[in-house]
Structure 1
Amino acid sequence: MESKTQLITIMEERTLTDMKKFYFIHLEVEASIIRKNYDWLNVEIKGKLLKGSGSIVVNGIKYCIKLLYSPFFPNRMDRIEITNHQIKYHDDIHVYGDSTLCLYHPKIDKPFLGIVPLHRMIPWITEWCHFYGEWKKYGIWLAPEIKHTNI
């Protein structure tokens, strides 16, 4: 009999396979939820990709957001970036090497079946912007974190 961990891994792989097979439905559901709940974001589906853009103001600072989401991206389905600030990779802040935001740990914070829906990440963008502003002031990331050296 297969172990519980093996069964979960198989279920995760099947879920991702189904998402790729029925990508348009998945992307359309995400786009619909975002349109209903986040009026500051404009989203559209282009091929196998959900694209979005918008801006938010956090602590008096405007952040222009660009997001891409697809089950065909490797490792994680999201690519979210701030486009109006020169944000470069730094060990102390939570961005990946391509300057996209690190909103969750890709292994530890994964929910059951390994999928983090885009609509659940949207509020995390505001939190990230808040803590980024605090990091610029104080030089320390004040949010709970898992250091990038552990990824």
Structure 2
Amino acid sequence: MRYSNSILNPKTVLVQAQAIRSRWPGFNVTVSSGRLKAIGSLQPTSRSSAYSIKVIYSLNQHPDIFVLDPKLKRNLNDEKIPHMYSQEKLCLYRPLYGEFKFSDLISETIIPWACLWLYHYEIWHLTGDWLGGGEHPNE
């Protein structure tokens, strides 16, 4: 029987925290009761707004990513923001397809993907089209 690398070699919360501190020194990273919380700023392009995001992660749980500031808004057509869970958490990858594995570093996947998501969010506001691909999560 073949096992997924994500089951055999998950990155611990402390390893994830250290990797975020190293790659994203502006992030405030805390670990408490086995749960990582990282808050920091991302700016998709030099013309973009700076966004404050929060990443929450516990071992072998999918990370939750929130945009704290500025508040995300519907576009001019009053459409729901694409690729979000319950209009609260960012949908960055497809869990069923194993695009993020627990052996992956959040600093190398989730945070850059959040920055790319924010870029596509800004384009969506300008064009009305989500150009980032992917699938919309079921509500």
2:37 aligned residue: 51
Gapped regions of structure 1 (runs ≥ 5): 1-6, 20-24
CA RMSD of aligned residues (A): 2.9
Secondary structure of the structure 1 residue equivalent to 2:119: helix
Higher relative contact order, structure no. (Cα contacts within 8 Å, ≥ 6 residues apart) = 2
TM-score, with structure 2 as normaliser: 0.77
Which string of whole-angstrom CA distances, capped at 9 and with x for unpartnered residues, describes residues 113-138 of structure 1?
x4243222111111011000011111
User: In structure 1, which of residues 30, 33, 52 is the aligned counterpart of residue 16 of structure 2?
Assistant: 30
1:83 aligned residue: 68
Q: Which has the higher helix share?
A: 1
Give aligned pairs, total: 131
Secondary structure of the structure 1 residue equivalent to 2:55: strand
Aligned identity (percent) is: 26
Supply the distance in 2 between the matched residues of 1:139 and 1:51 (Cα, whole angstroms): 32
Q: By how many angstroms is 1:93 displaced?
A: 1.2
Contact kept in structure 2, 1:40 and 1:56, CA below 8 Å: no
Computing the radius of gyration over CA atoms, which structure comes out larger, 1 or 2?
Answer: 1
Contact kept in structure 1, 2:120 and 2:130, CA below 8 Å: yes
1:122 aligned residue: 111
Contact kept in structure 1, 2:19 and 2:105, CA below 8 Å: no
